[in-house]
Copies of this chain bind each other. A is one copy, B any other.
């Protein structure tokens, strides 16, 4: 073999070694994650699975179903390679477990996943509340080091796997809220994982998450339901596009939102109080016929609406 030939072979070997090294640094095999389980498959869990399938057609996707009836629906969806009624079997040999149940069941499902999955397996979730779950998992030796909580700011008033979309998370924020026992490599792993879904990753504490989300999501949702609930029967037929948009999320699942309010009660209660104080101020402005003040008040709301911060 010529000198040039030997040099080419050596260069190719080095390139392969570097590629392999890079993948190891990413804590990944060439197709990491090779196997992912979703526990609690509805709109969000189904969309996570579809987005992973889009990112890598070879990923082995497992769904855990609480009941036989649910298992049939999941199997018929054709999204998963395998549907399983046992958590233990679902998470076996997984690289990642995604808990996508209602928030009130997340901490216990994270525990189950941690007990039965291999030590290298990342555990994450999609819950809309974080602090109480983080506190519970912090006390759970089986799960506390490798559960990296996540909240994709994406969803719909529609529920169920039939509305799952592979692009639901594209360019949407995904908030990572690791607990106090989670180390940086696991956060990096969670970041790599959630990027596969198409989202944009941002990290914050569970407490900040719950305070901010109470203000920008949970209480606005309750206010939307309030607007729907107080609509007098005689006026409902006169609703225009304004009312329809304001109340869109009021069509959401009452059970899911009750669980969110239960988990984030303290922050939601404080925020409700704050909104009600501003509401009282608004009524005062209206009742005093203070048009200049009212116009300034409306202009401030308009200004906030028209100037969203870059996320």
Assess the B246–A232 pair: CB atoms within 8 A: no
Could you say which of B227, B305, B311 contacts A251, with CB atoms under 8 Å apart?
B305
Assess the A238–B217 pair: CB atoms within 8 A: yes
Residue numbers in B under 8 Å from A242 (CB-CB) = 155, 217, 220-221, 224, 248-249
Q: Within the assembled complex, what's the spacing in Å between the Cα atoms of A273 and B282?
A: 11
Assess the B238–A212 pair: CB atoms within 8 A: yes
Interface residues on A, range: 35 or more
Residue numbers in B under 8 Å from A245 (CB-CB) = 245-246, 248-249
Nearest-Cβ distance from residue A248 to partner chain B, whole angstroms: 5
Closest to A215 in B: B235
Could you say which of B217, B253, B272 contacts A286, with CB atoms under 8 Å apart?
B272
> Is A301 interfacial (CB 8 A cutoff)?
yes
Residue contacts A-B, CB under 8 angstroms, 27 given = A155-B240, A155-B242, A212-B234, A212-B235, A215-B230, A216-B243, A217-B238, A217-B240, A220-B243, A220-B246, A222-B282, A226-B278, A226-B282, A229-B297, A230-B275, A230-B278, A237-B311, A245-B248, A246-B246, A251-B305, A252-B298, A252-B302, A253-B302, A254-B295, A257-B298, A268-B286, A276-B283
State the 4 A-B residue pairs at the shortest beta-carbon distance, nearest first: A254-B298, A225-B301, A212-B235, A229-B301
Give chain A's interface residues, CB within 8 Å of chain B.
Answer: 153-156, 172-173, 175, 211-213, 215-217, 220-243, 245-255, 257-258, 261-262, 265, 268-269, 272-276, 278-280, 282-283, 286-287, 289, 291, 294-302, 304-306, 308-311
